[in-house]
Amino acid sequence: MTLKFGVVGTGAIGREHIDRITNKLSGGKIVAVTDVNQESAKQTVEMYQLDAVVYPDDQALIADENVDVVVVTSWGPAHEATVVAAVEAGKYVFCEKPLATTAEGCMRIVEAEMKQGKKLVQVGFMRRYDNGYVQLKQAIDNHEIGEPLMIRAAHRNPTVGENYVTEMAVVDTLIHEIDVLHWLVNDDYKSVQVVFPRKTKYSHEKLQDPQLFTIETVGGIVMSVEVFVNCKYGYDIQCEVIGEDGVAKLPEYSSIVMRKDEKLSTSILNDWKYRFMDAYNVEIQDFIDSVTKKGEPQGPTSWDGYIAAVTADACVKAQQTGQKEAIVLNEKPAFYSEKKLQKA
Ligand code: NAI
Ligand code: NAD
Ligand code: ISE
């Protein structure tokens, strides 16, 4: 069986996902695309030589009976409307982060999905599919470092555009750590506080950069997470878990070791596309296989999208107040419990 995909948003990552579904993965085919910039959608069809209809908007694409799955790769604020409409039409959805830009928006998606009676939505938190994070989680779950006590993490981008402002350090960038860190240590978040160090000269008026987040969990783990999006030297993701019996660290991206000009060096990547390329491939192949064979996606759920949004809201509030802000989640519906996931 071939899953037929319609893609909403043919920008940077929309095109990446179209390329991987068309040329790298198995079991999927792009049959429809749309973008508010219609030229971008048409160019994408030509660029990848797709046998796909270009729709004027997401609603028309969702209405196409030939579309089994809606891929949402538009910009964040547009996600909620597309996801809700797709779920109400009974379509599967692969939505890039954030699921919605507010916790209320995520709850509307959760409610629409529960009404359909089965899981339809997966959120693009691809780090859960990254080999390094998977190894780190296995070490923690196997108690190789004892109880985790602290985490030191860093999310560094070489540079960002002028439209990237202080809040986006949370909703666009930290959101990946927000998802992956509680998953790593099987704990819930309790509070967050933000400190702004001296600002880099490479930032602009509307962006505080870097930023330092201190996040505490219900179980007492303290996480120190740096976001630095004009670090200049490369795309660098760091994560070190300090436990009672040892320390486990995310491996560096594999690179040859060079001896040259009196220097011993390895390379650092400069783009998320390359750093997480394998993770995106595994993530979307898993989505295709799960939907095809089990009838439900098995990856990060709408509820994970909701947890991320509630936490992000508290982080943004903490940016504004400078105080420790509480992170309070609604009770998790039984619909999203692990048991339901295994039964599917
Ligand atoms: P982009 O700006 O390059 O592309 C987004 C495209 O969506 C644009 O072509 C835009 O015209 C279109 N678009 C926006 N709203 C739309 C709507 N309502 N209907 C149809 N098309 C619409 O953005 P980029 O970098 O591709 O990011 C897209 C999404 O992917 C974002 O949610 C972003 O957070 C996420 N993303 C995730 C990454 C990851 O590592 N998982 C990496 C990069 C982006
Ligand atoms: P992008 O700017 O390259 O693409 C966004 C596209 O959305 C553009 O083509 C734009 O024309 C289109 N668009 C905007 N508003 C629209 C609307 N209302 N209706 C239809 N189309 C609209 O951005 P991107 O880098 O591809 O990011 C897109 C999404 O992917 C974002 O949500 C981003 O957070 C996410 N993303 C995730 C990762 C990741 O690592 N998982 C990496 C990059 C981006
Ligand atoms: C981008 O949208 C991503 O998701 C990348 O993974 C992240 O590193 C970057 O900061 C975001 O802008």
**Mind listing the pLDDT tens digit for each residue in 280-331?**
999 999 999 999 999 999 999 999 999 999 999 999 999 999 999 999 999 9
**16 Cα nearest atom in ligand 1:** 26
Residue 53 CA from chain centroid, whole number: 28
Distance 236 CA to ligand 3 centre (A): 11
- pLDDT attached to residue 1: 85
Ligand 1 contact, 12 CB (< 6 A): yes
Residue from 133, 176, 211, 228 to probe ligand 3 pocket by mutation (most atoms less than 8 Å from CB): 176
Measured torsion, CA atoms of residues 111, 298, 309, 319, in degrees rounded to the nearest 10:
170
Residues 173 and 213 in one domain: yes
Quick: pLDDT tens for 187-239: 999 999 999 999 999 999 999 999 999 999 999 999 999 999 999 999 999 99
Residues 113, 146 within the same domain: no
Residue 318 lies in a domain: no
Domain final residue pick, 218, 247, 269: 269
Residue type, 25: L
For residues 99 and 142, state if they share a domain: no
Provide the 3-class DSSP secondary structure of residue 69. Answer: strand
Task: With a cut of 90, say whether residue 176 has pLDDT above it.
Answer: yes
- CA-proximal residue: ligand 2, atom 44 (nearest): 13
Domain check: are 185 and 292 in the same one? Answer: no
Q: Are 12 and 90 members of one domain?
A: yes
In a domain, 311, yes or no: no
Mean local confidence (pLDDT), 164-174:
97
Q: Are 27 and 68 within one domain?
A: yes
122 and 245 together in one domain? no
Among candidate residues 214, 207, 226, 215, the one with its CA nearest the CA of residue 156: 226
Please check the confidence at residue 338 and state whether its pLDDT lies above 90: no
Would you list the DSSP string of 208-265?
Answer: --SEEEEEEETT--EEEEEEETT-SS--EEEEEEEESS-EEEPPPPP---EEETTEEE
Number of domains present in the structure of the chain: 2
Query: What digits encode the pLDDT tens for the residues 17-76?
Result: 999 999 999 999 999 999 999 999 999 999 999 999 999 999 999 999 999 999 999 999
pTM attached to this predicted model: 0.92
Is the ipTM higher than 0.95? The answer is no
Q: In this structure, is the dihedral angle defined by the CA atoms of residues 229, 280, 213 and 244, taken in order, positive or negative?
A: negative
User: Rounded to the nearest whole angstrom, what is the distance from the C-alpha of residue 275 to the centroid of ligand 2?
Assistant: 18
The verdict on residue 31 lying in a domain is yes
pLDDT value at residue 29: 98
319 lies in a domain?
no
Give the ligand with the smallest distance to the CA of 154.
Answer: 3
CATH number at residue 149: 3.30.360.10
Q: How far is the CA of 246 from the centre of ligand 3 (A)?
A: 30
Q: Give, using CA atoms, the residue closest to atom 7 of ligand 3.
A: 173
Indicate which CATH number applies to the domain containing 67. Answer: 3.40.50.720
Same domain, 22 and 114: yes
Ligand 1 and 76: CB distance under 6 A: yes
> Atom 1 in ligand 2: which residue has the minimum CA distance?
11
Tens digit of each residue's pLDDT (9 = 90 or more) over 129-164 = 999 999 999 999 999 999 999 999 999 999 999 999
**Is residue 80 located within the same domain as residue 166?**
no
Give the position, in ligand 1's atom list, of the atom nearest the Cα of 124. 41
The tens digit of pLDDT for each residue in 245-264 reads 999 999 998 899 999 999 99
Q: What six digits make up the tokens of 340?
A: 């339901």
* Distance from the alpha carbon of residue 224 to the mean position of ligand 3, in angstroms: 19
- Which range, of 273-282, 319-328, 334-343, averages the lowest pLDDT? 334-343
* Any ligand 1 atom below 6 A from CB of 272: yes
Give distance in angstroms: CA of 96 to centre of ligand 2: 8
Q: Both 255 and 184 in a single domain?
A: yes
What distance in angstroms lies between residue 10's CA and the mean position of ligand 1's atoms? 7
The domain boundary, picked from 269, 292, 318, lies at 269
Whether 341 maps to a domain, the answer reads no
Residue 120 lies in a domain: yes
* Together in a domain, 239 and 298: no
Domain of residue 17: give its range: 3-127+278-306+332-336
User: Distance between CA atoms of 21 and 119, rounded to whole angstroms?
Assistant: 21
pLDDT over 90, % of the chain: 97
User: 339 falls in which pLDDT band (50, 70, 90)?
Assistant: low
* Residues 97 and 208 reside in one and the same domain: no
| Any domain includes 317 | no
Residue 316 within a domain: no
Q: Is the pLDDT of residue 106 over 70?
A: yes
Spacing, Cα 13 to ligand 1 middle (Å)? 6
**341 band by pLDDT with thresholds 50, 70 and 90:** very low
- Single residue among 220, 244, 269 that ends a domain in this structure: 269
How high is the pLDDT of residue 333?
96
For ligand 1, atom 13: residue with the closest CA: 74
